[in-house]
Chains A and B, each alone.
Chain A
């Protein structure tokens, strides 16, 4: 049952939710959190559907703030539905028109479930520093999605600059099955890993994060390669007694090879948005490992980090060769090696490691450029696009 409230106020929306709930006789449902979705009209439908699915696991009040800035007067239009057929708890879609578009927090605040945790999710565009955003400030968990924008790696770099405890990004969430599989590979007795490599689709933020996570966890250089995708396609962990290789060429099945074992396969499917959101809502405390992985980014081979606070950062892979006629190998090495010295103010942890990691980054970047498993035939068009992504 949906109730439409045109030109309304937050108090009226709150009353409408309570009345609907009472009318259905479910006045004591367990709402464990409020999920605020800040989205535009184009992305909100998918996001709401996924959130509603996730609400089956985490009964929530879902508030969708849809800013509609424009010349007209400030006005709030709302649609409230409670107890939908698919297990969804409470949903309020809030269209914020005119100047109100810039004051979403004033509408959201009175509608939060008392005392329960608040999670904010920006399905597409996110503020530069989510925790400084007026809506973001209301939440202890702030979900962004670097993979969705037109410039994923710049967005990812921005996430690094803007990171505060409680931030998380779906590009990181998408990695969980990969990380679980790789971690479980090392649960078995293994020789120490001496180096690693990750291959992934061009501009895939999850691939870069995976490289950063491996580099941070293993303390060894990780080289990166571009592949045709989809997403991440291969990870190699090199040990003194042979390589552990996980290959996922089709985005569905992982083939794992390692010394002493036959080739083994396991499903490693790319996950749906609702699965990602459900995972995010499972734990609401700060994800320190994500934060530390972000601060490892400048030392990932080929990742070009921008100094804070400009909106920059791109990715130039050593095997991205030739198309635009520049010497990419030296270009990448110069930028990569210089990255740790351009410390962002936010990066206190990274600063401690500078001496060691600078040396390591130099060594990594100095590797021959063409030592690559999956070379992507690059077209002039791709090359041009890559160039345009250089930091301004």
Chain B
């Protein structure tokens, strides 16, 4: 069962009964203003998620969706774009009624980010919505745009009065990673946004935290008795967190070059997964209590002394990927042939607490690896004594508890079992658990959950800037070290990363799981 990460404030609404778990929470009157509506994320994830929410009846009557972009469009043109994206990518069935209702609230404002008059027009549009659609001055601004535009947009929102909420109304801003490219820039970004929006109104999206399995990790750990007693250095040998993609950078050269795998993935997704794996039990699942525990873990992270020995980076070279020839990173359009941006990154981290003393956490991520998979593996120590002969247990590895986050959400346990037959022979077997089917409408997409939480004002699944800054504190020295050490190692596309990534873990007498 996924856990709800908060206790809804039931307040004085006489129709809400805490025992009445059937009733979903529906967002109050509001609109969502999207910047960057022509981007991939907006078309493939955000717009379909808004439609799916509407289809599930979780959006308020009169909900409005406003697009802002540098396109010569009118409302209908934008509505057509949304329509196409919904038809292609929505998870729930297409219903004309839902679409017609959503469509009535769709607006578009054409303009450039530096264009004062465009923002004045946006302010006017939003005011009209309050009148025509009854959005009551509640508006969320989703900045699905490159980070360099965050500051100007936020300033424009302030100048045009869009960031100021009236009595009893709210204005919220949603930003996507990366949250800066190092500690200094993250702080600067936080200040820029903090000047305009109070910290409670800033929602940083890490879509991994909206995934069912990630939330399920907390349920597994804290709702059961059989895992927590062994969830520590007494039993755990090491932890591996992997996020592998089989695709290259595609058309995202402009975004990716200069950022790289460590900043793009480790700083946010993998460190958040690490924090949820390693944190102590929170007092409750309220936003603040969970955040306190996550921050404690992030603050306790340590880097190895010798970064060359225990980190690894690489760039994908040409090769064969799943039966297709693919080009190397340096040959991608828009990438300089001398780029030193890494497309693979792996680090070993320690957690300086009693629970995790001496247990290394290996984090790796990369593009053009063997297959697309994100998983978290807890690998246990070997039994201290085996009452079998050595040949009986030759094929027995270490027990493992694997949380599969995508694409095949579930949990795998790996343990030894006797091979059927007259001889005693123990071999590793997998036990799989899959709850639900990620292809059906029943399991909501992470973005659905997160957008709804923004509209409801529920912050637990969103990292706070303190967490972001702690992430940079740990990662900055690694990235600086790499910048001083020349070019990243090339690895053949379709394999599991550069040789140095295997060497860094072999040195410790361990090896990567083949996920």
Contact = CB atoms under 8 A, between A and B. Distances in A.
B433 A188 contact: no
Contact of A267 (B21, B23, B97): B97
Contacts of B20: 289
B19 interface: yes
B367 to A, nearest CB: 32
A109 to B, nearest CB: 26
A372 to B, nearest CB: 24
What's the dominant secondary structure at chain A's contact region?
mixed
Nearest to A32: B435
B59 interface: yes
Contacts of B437: 56-57, 59, 87
A24 B89 CA distance: 31
A181 interface: yes
Interface of B: 11, 13-17, 19-26, 28-29, 54-55, 57, 59-63, 95, 97-98, 101, 104, 131-134, 136, 168, 410, 431-437, 440, 442-443
A29 B29 contact: no
Interface size class of A (residues with CB under 8 A): 35 or more
A266 B133 CA distance: 11
Interface in A254-305: 254, 256, 261-262, 264-269, 278-279, 283, 287-289
7 contacts: A56-B437, A59-B437, A179-B23, A256-B62, A261-B134, A265-B104, A267-B101
A365 B182 CA distance: 71
A267 B100 CA distance: 9
B61 A266 contact: yes
A150 interface: no
Given A181-B26, A187-B13, A266-B60, 13 more contacts: A56-B440, A57-B442, A176-B23, A183-B15, A186-B14, A186-B16, A187-B11, A256-B62, A261-B136, A262-B133, A264-B61, A264-B134, A269-B97
Interface of A: 28-30, 32, 56-59, 87, 173, 176-177, 179-184, 186-189, 193, 214, 217-219, 252-254, 256, 261-262, 264-269, 278-279, 283, 287-289
Nearest to A188: B28
A287 B23 CA distance: 12
Contacts of A32: 435
A386 to B, nearest CB: 31
Contacts of B29: 188, 261, 264
A56 B60 contact: no
Given A57-B440, A266-B59, A287 B54 contact: no
B61 A256 contact: yes
B458 to A, nearest CB: 13
A32 B1 CA distance: 11
Nearest to B63: A266
Given A181-B57, A217-B14, A265-B62, A283 B28 contact: no
B187 to A, nearest CB: 36
A253 B101 CA distance: 9
B28 A187 contact: yes
A253 B13 contact: no
Given A30-B434, A179-B23, A181-B26, A264 B442 contact: no
Contacts of A181: 26, 57, 61
A181 B443 CA distance: 22
Contacts of A187: 11, 13, 16, 26, 28
B97 to A, nearest CB: 5
